[in-house]
Structure 1
Amino acid sequence: MNNPQKVKISSIRGNKRGVYEVVLSWYGPDINPKNNKLKRNQTTHYLKDKDGNNIPYKSGSKTERNKYNVNILAEQWRVFEEEKRFPSGAMLFLSFLDKFEEHENKRVERGEIRPITRDGYISVLNANIRPYFKDKNLKLNEVSKANINNFYDYLFDVKKLHSIKHITKTLKLIFNLAEDLDLITKSPVPKRRKLTSESNENRVKKHCLDEEEMAKVLEITKGTYLYSILHIGFYYGLRPSEILGLRWQDIDLKNKTIHICFTAVKSSSGLYCAEKTKTEDSNRTLPILDETVQIFKAIKTEQEENKRLYANCYHKEEQDFVFRQKNGKPYLPSSLHRKLNKMLTDNGLEPMRLYDMRPTACTRMRQKGFDAKLRAKWLGHTKTDITENVYTHVTQAEVNNSVNQLL
């Protein structure tokens, strides 16, 4: 037999619940330590009709089996398990996506990537890749460059460029894994595809606020919880995840320092916290201004009052976060973003991203004489070229003022 079955049907039987089930068995990939041979494994599946109901077992006769297509359904489960446990290039592309998801879960277990990173890939998978390829019925080794280009044509009609870049990264990971497993000879995803759109409306541009714009944003949010968060971001250049991850144990009001060593970001299950920063250089201790000390003291006083008012209803968080809602729950980046941009648009200002605080802080530091190495230290960058080329901007006001230097 050219293609022997690796997963076999051990039996088709009726169980104690009086319904049909198929028992599947296979050897491997684990080794039995007792005899140093491949370990025998089994799994059981209920057989269901087209409406999703369990098929009742009465006599198990040939007539009964034919009536409900029992043998066909059992073979479908056998093929599914074989593709899942012994993948090949002939498996369906959608089935391989399950394999990719398992692989990313194992990478999290090994500490290779953070859960929030895995969640990002899986989100892209379920929101974009699965829905598009769902009805294509393509096998893994049948996905061609033409299929991928058609996918991109579709994406440019419905997605922004920023989102397409995230989808591309996930696509590359999927087919790179297939290559590593020798399931395909070459990835159909172009290694260096230049992602551009015919119009600029889909382009996501980093927005760096000038001094006047920053002052307006702070003025509008004064007296709200957003003001404190924006103050930290605009003055110290912290990432949103670093701001929301600040804990009282990381703040030394006496010596006027903050230790950035913890992060909190939104994940599919709520708020994901990590006892490490994005890079080793992101773990840093920064001095703070007297104004910031007073802000922290005011936050602490308000939190203690909220604990008293809410009593047993105050949300008990494992981490003692600085920035919390009145009921003690931590803030989510998405809710902060919505609240901020509503306030800005209501006051006639352009919307901004929370991350825009970071390039704004870096640019202000340059204007105040901080050299590249010092700015990189404040922002937690490993290399100064990122600080210079990505986060440091030249404002329009600087361009306007520089005209006199041409004389």
Structure 2
Amino acid sequence: MAADKSTKKLPTGVRKKSENSYEVRVKHDGKTYYAYASTITEAKKKRVDLKYQLTHGTYIKPASYTFGQWFEFWMENYKENSVKRGTCVTYWNYYNASVKERFGDVKLDKIHGEDIQMFYNELVKKGSRSATIKVIKAFMSGAFKQAVKNGIIARNPFDATNFPTKTKAEKKRKAMTKEEQALFMEYAKESYLYNLFAVMLRTGMRCGEIRGLRWGDIDKKEHVIHVRRTLKYINGEGYVADAPKTKTSFRDIPLTQDLIGLLDNQKNYWNFKVEKIDRYLFCNVDGDPLDSQAVQVEINRIINRIRAAGNEFERITPHVFRHTFATRALEAGMEPQILKAILGHSSIAMTMDLYSHVLPDSKAEEMKKIVSVF
């Protein structure tokens, strides 16, 4: 039997490569075949599996997988039944847009840490946002991690990389000032999406979440809005209801009297028949799901009217309404922990990281309170 440096005996055909890496060797028809594992127990199982595959002719040579082939196999067998449908769609979209051309035809065992690091740098040079690069890292590293578990490759190339920090060109989270907010809503009064904009500013809901609201989600008895779904676009199917972004995105938002008035107005806006009472609350004139692009088009139209009147106004996206709500909430003294729950963030650290820039003035005011103690 082989032995590691601590003199602990290892099973036949298993050799320790590093602290958490074991090499499995099986001889068959005069050739030696290899697999890799992170524990002795896993190595023993992989050796049994490898021997079985070689004996029964089901062995697939690891190097025969390109990243594209493995990614497709990984998505179908490991992801489609374990993550949201919308997440799978997002992974495929990013793969086709940014990864396929670069790594799709490259063998798994030929992709090294330096290749991934150069890919990071290429994405940064192209102007990709940190959030975009994080998504790409998530699914690529996940696919490689599974390949390591399956003994197809020895190590995950992402382990030898450094994730790029935010570039100087990457702007801080944009939020409207109080003056901009008031100006926008003044010019939005005649818009068919006025109620949507007003509710977003009062709840911080994501655009997909508010477009996925149904009247049944408005719970006047408990005085909350139940956030239970988001709208996701699926090629060939259009907009479909999907689970919210994360587990903490399932949440209840307090229902104020102001919100009740806006939501009641929206319920009756299109004068739909009773049979469509469970339609999406914010929809188009036919009662169909509201397109995210239609929201952006309406925002642009309102901004053009503001500019035509001689006012300066930067371009904004629907997500700016969420940031504006969070900014106003902190300015008004809302506790970050409460804001985290309303926004549906997964951690208080995320909330503070995104909105800590709002707090300097608040911190100064809080420090003044301690003066009376001395």
So what's the TM-score if we normalise by structure 2? Answer: 0.70
Matched, 1:367 2:341: no
Contact 2:212–2:280 under 8 Å retained in 1: yes
Distance 2:241 2:281 in 1: 14
Q: Residues 153-164 of structure 1: matches in 2 within 5 Å? A: 153-162=121-130, 163-164=132-133
Check the 8 A contact 2:117/2:162 in 1, yes or no: no
The answer to whether 1:193 aligns with 2:152 is no
Q: Residues 262 and 154 (structure 1 numbering): CA distance in 2 closer, same or farther, change over 3 Å?
A: closer
Contact 2:114 2:161 (8 Å CA) reproduced: no
Whole-angstrom CA distance in 2 between matches of 1:239 and 1:328: 20
Q: Which amino acid aligns with 1:183?
A: I
Q: Which runs of 5+ in 1 are unaligned?
A: 5-36, 39-81, 309-313
8 Å Cα contact 2:184/2:302 also seen in 1: no
- Counterpart of 1:165? 134
Match of 1:125 among 80, 86, 95: 95
User: Which structure 2 residues correspond to residues 139-218 of structure 1 after superposition, within 5 A?
Assistant: 139-162=107-130, 163-190=132-159, 193-196=162-165, 200-201=168-169, 203-218=170-185
Instruction: Tell me which residue corresponds to 2:26.
Output: none
Distance in 1 (CA, whole Å) between partners of 2:145 and 2:116 is 14
Structure 1 position 254, deviation (Å) = 6.7
1:50-89 correspondence to structure 2 within 5 Å? 87-89=60-62
What CA distance in whole angstroms lies between the structure 2 residues aligned with 1:108 and 1:178? 14
Which residue of the other structure, out of 71, 85, 91, is the alignment partner of 1:100?
71
User: What is the one-letter code of the residue matched to 1:174?
Assistant: A
Contact 2:213 2:280 in 1 (8 A): yes
Return the offset for 1:146. 3.4
Provide the rounded CA distance (Å) in 2 between the counterparts of 1:383 and 1:196.
20
- CA drift of 1:174 comes to 2.5
Instruction: Please name the residue that 2:349 is paired with.
Output: 385
1:232 is displaced (CA, Å) by 1.5
The residue number in structure 2 matching 1:115 is 85
**What is the identity, as a one-letter code, of the residue corresponding to 1:99?**
W
2:291 is matched with which residue: 325, 329, 332? Answer: 332
CA contact (8 A) 2:144 2:157 kept: yes
Letter in 1 for 2:233: K
TM-score using structure 1 length: 0.65
Q: Distance in 2 between matches of 1:89 and 1:296?
A: 57
Structure 1 279/133 Cα, relative in aligned 2: closer, same or farther at 3 Å?
closer
| 2:20 alignment counterpart | none
Match of 1:300 among 267, 288, 305: 267
Alpha-carbon distance, 1:185 to partner: 0.9
1:120 Cα deviation after fit: 1.0
Deviation of 1:181 after TM superposition, in Å, equals: 1.5
**What is the CA distance between 1:368 and its match in structure 2?**
1.9
- Shift of the alpha carbon at 1:301? 1.8
**CA distance, structure 2, for counterparts of residue 293 and residue 393 of structure 1:** 31
Aligned residue pairs, count: 309
User: How far did 1:192 drift?
Assistant: 5.2
SS in 2 for 1:349: coil
Residue in structure 2 matched with residue 321 of structure 1 by the alignment = 280
Shift of 1:297: 2.2
**Partners of 1:97 and 1:174 within 8 A in 2:** no
CA distance in 2, matches of 1:157, 1:206: 20
The residue type paired with residue 139 of structure 2 is: T
Query: What is the RMSD computed on CA atoms of the aligned residues?
Result: 3.5
Which residue in 1 is equivalent to 2:320? Answer: 356
Counterparts in 2 of 1:191 and 1:161: CA distance versus 1, 3 Å: farther
CA contact (8 A) 1:258 1:285 kept: yes
What secondary structure does 1:258 align onto?
strand
Instruction: Give the Å deviation of 1:104.
Output: 2.1
Deviation at 1:153, TM superposition (A): 4.1
Q: Secondary structure at the match of 1:175?
A: helix
Q: Deviations over 1:277-316 (max 9, x none)?
A: 44454333333333322222222222325x59xxxxx9x8
Q: Which moves more between the two structures, 149-158 or 166-175?
A: 149-158
Q: CA deviation at 1:358?
A: 2.2
Which structure carries more relative contact order (alpha carbon 8 Å, separation 6+)?
2
**What is the CA–CA distance in structure 1 between the aligned matches of 2:175 and 2:68, rounded to whole Å?**
39
Distance 1:215 1:98 in 2: 52
Deviation at 1:86, TM superposition (A): 5.2
From 240, 245, 267, the equivalent of 2:207 is 240
Instruction: Note the C-alpha offset of 1:98.
Output: 3.0
Deviations 1:249-282 (A, max 9, x none): 11145765322222223344422313x4444543
Is contact 1:100–1:177 with CA below 8 Å preserved after alignment?
no
Asked if the contact 2:331/2:359 (under 8 Å) is kept, the reply is: no
Q: Secondary structure at the match of 2:64?
A: coil
Unpaired runs of at least 5, structure 2: 1-28, 33-51, 369-374
Once the two structures are TM-superposed, the CA of residue 377 in structure 1 deviates from its matched residue by 2.9
Residue equivalent to 2:64: 91
Contact 1:116 1:272 survives alignment (8 Å): no
Change beyond 3 A, Cα 1:289–1:185 = same
